[in-house]
Amino acid sequence: MEAHLTELQHFLPTSYYLPTRATDNRSPLTAFGTVLHYPHHKTIFAKGDEASFFFGVINGAIRLSTTAANGDRTIAGFALPGDFFGIQWLGQHTLTAETIDDATLVCFGSKRLARLSDENKVIRAELFSILRHSLWATQNHLANVSRHCAQERVATFLVELMDRSKKVNRRDVDVPMSRQDIGDYVGLTIETVCRVLTELRQKKIIDIPNRREIVIRNEPALRAVAQPES
């Protein structure tokens, strides 16, 4: 585990979704972590593993999932640049974290962080904020998956991806996850995800130049599909 503290200068702004958080703050945590590189399709930790570390994403994409006894996989969320995941004071991780892309992460030892947070009010507030944000995002996702039709779910996923994108031109969305991942995230089969995507393409709402890129051609229309009025 090598430390490249100089690289922490590149750590991206924390993007929280929470309306109360400014999106242009760098996290106060960045000064204390260790930078690590992971190749794609690598398990960072598995559900049930002792939670010795906690991570922030500098670059790449992570999927956080749980797999049932019958093999059904649920992806609870994706961690993108600026996000944190695996926060767990002590005890075990409740989800499995795997890289989708090659990824650069910042890693924090749980014990060290616990000590730091006892001493430092700012760190403490930051950790609490991260945890609250995770809860908020999960609740939102639950509401999306719980009672919406296929079109609404996929459209909501795309809007989310667009809004979280760090790109200048947000219309050109990078899709690092596979169709299967999307399906496991929104609670649909891979076939239904494909069908919805082609439908949106036929309606000229999106374009699909290649499998890991989606262009939003008509953002208002996409948002309308995601959040049906009345």
Partner DNA sequence: CGCTGCTTTGACAACGCTCAAAGATAGTGG
Partner DNA sequence: CCACTATCTTTGAGCGTTGTCAAAGCAGCG
Which one, of 55, 47, 36, lies nearest residue 75 by Cα?
A: 47
Query: What is the closest distance, in whole angstroms, from the C-beta atom of residue 119 to DNA in the complex?
Result: 45
215 binds DNA (CB under 7 A): no
Binding span for DNA by CB under 7 A among 100-108, 122-130, 164-172, 179-187:
179-187
Distance CA 14, CA 56 (A): 9
Task: Enter the tokens of residue 109.
Answer: 């030892």
208 binds DNA (CB under 7 A): yes
3-state secondary structure at position 138: helix
Distance CA 192, CA 183 (A): 8
Which one, of 56, 69, 66, lies nearest residue 30 by Cα?
A: 56
Please report which helix (H) or strand (E) contains residue 116, including its range. helix 110-119
Q: Which is nearer to a copy of itself, 104 or 144 (CB)?
A: 144
180 binds DNA (CB under 7 A): yes
Is the distance from CB of 150 to CB of 194 less than 8 angstroms? no
115 binds, among DNA, a copy of itself, none (CB under 5 to 8 A by kind): none
Distance CA 130, CA 107 (A): 15
Query: What is the closest distance, in whole angstroms, from the C-beta atom of residue 213 to a copy of itself in the complex?
Result: 26
Total residues binding DNA (CB under 7 A): 20
189 binds DNA (CB under 7 A): yes
Query: What is the closest distance, in whole angstroms, from the C-beta atom of residue 77 to a copy of itself in the complex?
Result: 9
List of residues 6+ apart from 75 with CB closer than 8 A:
63, 64, 65, 181, 184, 185
Give residues in contact with a copy of itself (CB under 8 A).
Answer: 18-20, 66, 68-72, 74, 76, 87-92, 94-95, 118, 121, 124-125, 127-129, 131-132, 134-136, 138-139, 141-143, 145-148, 184, 187, 227-230
Query: What is the closest distance, in whole angstroms, from the C-beta atom of residue 209 to a copy of itself in the complex?
Result: 29
Contacts with DNA, residue ranges (CB under 7 A): 149-151, 178-180, 187-195, 197-198, 208, 210-211
